[in-house]
Amino acid sequence: MSLDAYISLGQSGLRVSPFCLGTMTFGEDWGWGSSPDDSEAILTEYLERGGNFIDTANIYTNGHSEKIIGDYLSARAGLRDRIVLATKFFGNLDIGNPNGGGAGRKAIVKQCEESLRRLQTDYIDLYWLHNWDRGAPIEETLRAMDDLVTSGKVRYLGVSDLPAWKAAQAQTIAHFRGYAPAIALQVEYSLLARTVEGELIPMARELGLGVMPWGPLRGGKLSGKYTRANAGSQKSDRTGSSASLLANEYAILDVVNEVATEIGANTAAVALAWVHSRPGVASTLIGARRLDQLKASLDVIDVSLSSQQIARLDAVSRPVLNFPADNNRDLAPNLAFAGAMVDGIRTNAVPMLAGTTKRY
């Protein structure tokens, strides 16, 4: 799969690359990111390979990430309209100001204006609600977001890191009130973080939201950097502290490495291929602090896994999900179809029904 094998994002006419460039690393303001020059090199590499989807947020490196992207685009005439530029609101960059962040109308409008200024553009292609503001009525948030679309400052909307019930509520209200709906959902998703399969991903598929996984390498744990042999000796690029995996995480990594050996790829390639193959996934976020890291990720995005390999990875990383997710997934089809094959899935008659013929 190449970056220019574009897809339609969710139920929309917005066409994006199957892998989106995440830019939380742009800027050294948090002590571990990329310099402006390195960030521009990363942008150039991604775009020259055919990528068109760039994701940032107002709070990334205190706004510096947006500023770096804005400087890059302003220096290249005609490039802005060829890319899909996404940013997020919610994070407060005005310490002590209760209306500086969150999802109230005053905050949303202000944050949008500030992002437009830093990005040096007059519109945002995809504007994300970054989190759930418990104190702001969702109707107020949705109407303010819709107004931004109507005004032309924003083209499409998305939601990120919301509980499934809140995202479903928001999407339902938007449809019934005629507001611009969300087209995508951004969530953490990887072989080491699969609990979104319980509620969030089924909700997204039902309501027309393209799923965009962030953290597909689980903060580097699936990059190949961490092994049983070097447990506790590796340091996180972000925190500088020593880190190692849990016992169950090493068990997952063992299977990842087995599959990587079978297909002649590396650990990260298998992890990316697995998450990108998941039902509902649209465009997967990849990020890098250094150019060589990005190149390594882009070099392996065409790796594919067999159904048997995916099944092994699924089995070893199978998550414990909140009720009633497992019940609905495992028991309900058997209760409903009692051994019949439906939609390509073979079901079994549950024990209390198996072998019975008497009906009342």
Quick: pLDDT tens for 90-124: 999 999 999 999 999 999 999 999 999 999 999 99
Q: CA angle, corner 84, sides to 83 and 88, nearest 5?
A: 135
On the question of a cis peptide bond just before residue 163, with omega within 30 degrees of 0, the verdict is no
Q: Helices in 22-98 by DSSP H: which ranges?
A: 36-48, 64-74
Closest CA to 158 of 131, 193, 133, 119: 131
pLDDT score of 225: 86
pLDDT score of 282: 97
Measured distance between the N- and C-terminal CA atoms of the chain, rounded to whole angstroms: 56
pLDDT score of 237: 61
Q: How do residues 231-247 score in pLDDT, each as one tens digit? A: 766 666 655 555 678 88
pLDDT score of 147: 98
pLDDT score of 191: 98
pTM of the model: 0.92
Which residues of the chain are under the pLDDT cut of 50?
Answer: none
| Residues annotated as part of the active site | 60
Distance (Å, whole) CA 253 – CA 313:
9
Q: How do residues 23-73 score in pLDDT, each as one tens digit? A: 999 999 999 999 999 999 999 999 999 999 999 999 999 999 999 999 999
CB 204 within 8 A of CB 210: yes
Burial of 140 (0-12, 13-18, 19+ CB in 10 A): middle
CB 187 within 8 A of CB 211: yes
* Other CB atoms within 10 Å distance of the CB of residue 189: 27
pLDDT score of 107: 98
